[in-house]
């Protein structure tokens, strides 16, 4: 199974948002946003959360996800 990293911090900084703001705009709990932002690589992630973050950042889901290993 591959691992991915979510580029949450990068896109939040581009928007001038902190992670609390990302949580408020997406409806995703702050603790989940922190986990996604701090993780160096995850095997699984909630697709609904990906969709919410991509919509908030106005990007494609593919742009939010960095594939680390296949």
Hey, how many other C-beta atoms are within 10 angstroms of the C-beta on 22? 24
Q: Is 51 helix (H, G, I), strand (E, B) or coil?
A: helix
The predicted model scores a pTM of 0.89
What is the CATH code of the structural domain delimited by 3-65?
1.10.260.40
In the chain, what percentage of residues exceed pLDDT 90?
81
Contact 53, 28 (CB under 8 A): yes
Domain range summary for the chain, segments of one domain joined by +: 3-65
Confidence of residue 70 (pLDDT cuts 50, 70, 90): low
Query: Which pLDDT tens digit goes with each residue over 39-64?
Result: 988 888 999 999 999 999 999 999 99
Contact 29, 54 (CB under 8 A): no
């Amino acid at each position: 199974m591959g691992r991915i990293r979510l580029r949450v911090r990068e896109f939040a900084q581009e928007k001038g948002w902190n992670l609390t703001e990302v949580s408020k705009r997406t409806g995703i709990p702050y603790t989940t946003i922190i986990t996604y932002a701090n993780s160096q690589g995850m095997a699984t992630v909630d697709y609904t959360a990906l969709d919410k973050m991509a919509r908030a950042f106005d990007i494609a889901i593919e742009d939010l996800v960095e594939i680390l290993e296949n």
